[in-house]
């Protein structure tokens, strides 16, 4: 039996099928993964993501600490509430985790890290915190609910504390606002509008019920995965991990190297760039009948082989899509080995879907 979020009982009562995910018992769907996917693309769906861990970084040296720890540049976090997507790297450039960090006020930042890597992340942060005189504070007293979809913001507003509704609706993308113990960010993992709401764990059941009453559909990890893949968003442990760098994972845009900031992993990335990055992460659209899945081999004529890191049938496009790590010169068409057959696939640039609409030529 894995760890359980504060909403576990609500999931069971709603008929959820649960699976182990990063050591947590999490709902994979509540009856129909496809209907949950479409609810997010067309209306509003909600996800219990309380298995992810909120980590507060506090102290006068917190900005310098994060500048050293993260590949993206926290100097970009000038306005209170601003969010930044980034990777945390090992010295050899391998990706320890991808995360979002928020600037709350000078001397206080908030990170949200992945469930399966949370203990490792906190240990890594704590190991480097001493030299900067900062506290690394895991906040397991907090829960997280993501509400996503074209109607998500309007349907969420009425379930928020009264003093939080107007500030939340006024948020620009990738900003957050604090309302007492509640924290609302205009962020997400689906390619749709919405909020990610951090709140005291003791209050999350009431919030979940209020959202359901407002017509927001509960959604599980199955729909979350098809949605994020349509949106071209990486999944840690599948599309990147400690064995690869951001430059091989479609995440070069999250690495700020124009200044001379000495972040952990910089020297390794500079060496890789100088030598020539050998692989890249691309989107694939299957042109033959079949379904792309992780670990299928990709054959690139004249260049060698690659591998699917993620793959699924896209409910929005009604086509099979995937992400693959392939030789750096790959373009045009490739072949994917599926059940002993070589099937044709086309290299495309993610995202596949954004705001409910196809972003690639079908």
Whole-model pTM? Answer: 0.96
Tell me if 8-51+141-230 shares its fold with 278-358: no
- Res 238: pLDDT: 98
Give me the mean pLDDT over the 42-64 stretch. 97
- Res 166: pLDDT: 98
Task: Break the chain into its structural domains and give their ranges.
Answer: 8-51+141-230, 278-358
pLDDT digits 0-9 by tens, 198-254: 999 999 999 999 999 999 999 999 999 999 999 999 999 999 999 999 999 999 999
- Res 252: pLDDT: 97
Give me the mean pLDDT over the 308-319 stretch. 98
What mean pLDDT, rounded, does the chain reach? 97
Provide the percentage of residues in the chain whose pLDDT is more than 90.
98
- Res 131: pLDDT: 83
Class assignment of domain 8-51+141-230?
alpha beta
CB 157 within 8 A of CB 165: yes
- Res 66: pLDDT: 98
Residue 315 confidence class, pLDDT cut points 50, 70, 90: very high
Whether residue 130 is predicted with pLDDT greater than 90 in this model: the reply is no
- Res 2: pLDDT: 84
Provide the percentage of residues in the chain whose pLDDT is more than 70.
100
pLDDT digits 0-9 by tens, 65-97: 999 999 999 999 999 999 999 999 999 999 999
329 CB-side CA count, 13 A: 6
- Res 259: pLDDT: 86
Give me the mean pLDDT over the 175-197 stretch. 98
pLDDT digits 0-9 by tens, 242-289: 999 999 999 999 999 998 899 999 999 999 999 999 999 999 999 999
In a 10 Å sphere around its CB, with 0-12 CB exposed, 13-18 middle and 19+ buried, how is residue 15 labelled? exposed
Spell 116-128 as b/e; 16+ CB within 10 A means b: bbbeebbebbeee
- Res 44: pLDDT: 98
- Res 1: pLDDT: 72
The CATH superfamily holding the domain 278-358 is: Aminomethyltransferase beta-barrel domains (2.40.30.110)
Q: How far apart are CA 326 and CA 324, in angstroms?
A: 6
- Res 63: pLDDT: 97
Residues 6 or more apart in contact with residue 108 via CB below 8 angstroms: 56, 57, 58, 62
- Res 100: pLDDT: 98
- Res 319: pLDDT: 98
Token reading at 199? 């709140």
Give me the mean pLDDT over the 329-357 stretch. 97
């Amino acid at each position: 039996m894995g760890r359980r979020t504060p909403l576990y009982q609500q999931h069971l009562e709603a008929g959820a099928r649960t699976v182990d995910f990063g050591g947590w018992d999490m709902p994979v769907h509540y009856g129909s993964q496809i209907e949950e996917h479409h609810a997010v693309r067309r209306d509003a769906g909600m996800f219990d993501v309380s298995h992810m861990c909120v980590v507060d970084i506090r102290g006068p040296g917190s900005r310098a600490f994060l500048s050293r720890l993260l590949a993206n540049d926290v100097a970009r976090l000038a306005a209170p509430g601003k969010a930044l997507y980034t990777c945390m790297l090992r010295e050899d450039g391998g990706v320890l985790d991808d995360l979002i960090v928020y600037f709350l006020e000078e001397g206080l930042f908030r990170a949200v890290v992945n469930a399966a890597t949370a203990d490792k992340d906190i240990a890594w942060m704590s190991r480097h915190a001493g030299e900067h005189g900062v506290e690394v504070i895991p906040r397991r007293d907090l829960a997280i609910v993501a509400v996503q979809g074209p109607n998500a913001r309007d349907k969420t507003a009425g379930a928020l504390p009264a003093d939080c509704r107007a500030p939340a609706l006024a948020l620009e993308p990738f900003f957050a606002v604090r309302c007492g113990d509640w924290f609302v960010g205009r962020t997400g993992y689906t390619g749709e509008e919405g909020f990610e709401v951090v709140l005291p764990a003791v209050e999350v059941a009431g919030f979940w019920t209020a959202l359901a009453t407002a017509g927001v559909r509960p959604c599980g990890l199955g729909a979350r995965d098809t949605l994020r893949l349509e949106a071209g968003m990486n999944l840690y442990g599948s599309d990147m991990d400690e064995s690869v760098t951001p430059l091989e994972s479609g995440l070069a845009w999250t690495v700020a190297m124009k200044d001379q900031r000495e972040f952990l992993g910089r020297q390794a990335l500079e060496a890789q760039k100088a030598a020539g990055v050998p692989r890249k992460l691309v989107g694939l659209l299957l042109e033959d009948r079949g379904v792309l899945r992780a670990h299928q081999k990709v054959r690139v004529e004249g260049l060698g082989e690659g591998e699917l890191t993620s793959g699924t049938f896209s409910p929005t496009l009604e086509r099979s899509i995937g992400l693959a790590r392939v030789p750096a010169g790959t373009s045009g068409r490739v072949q994917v080995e599926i059940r002993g057959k070589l099937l044709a696939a086309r290299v495309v640039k993610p995202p596949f879907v954004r705001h409910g609409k196809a972003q690639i030529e079908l």
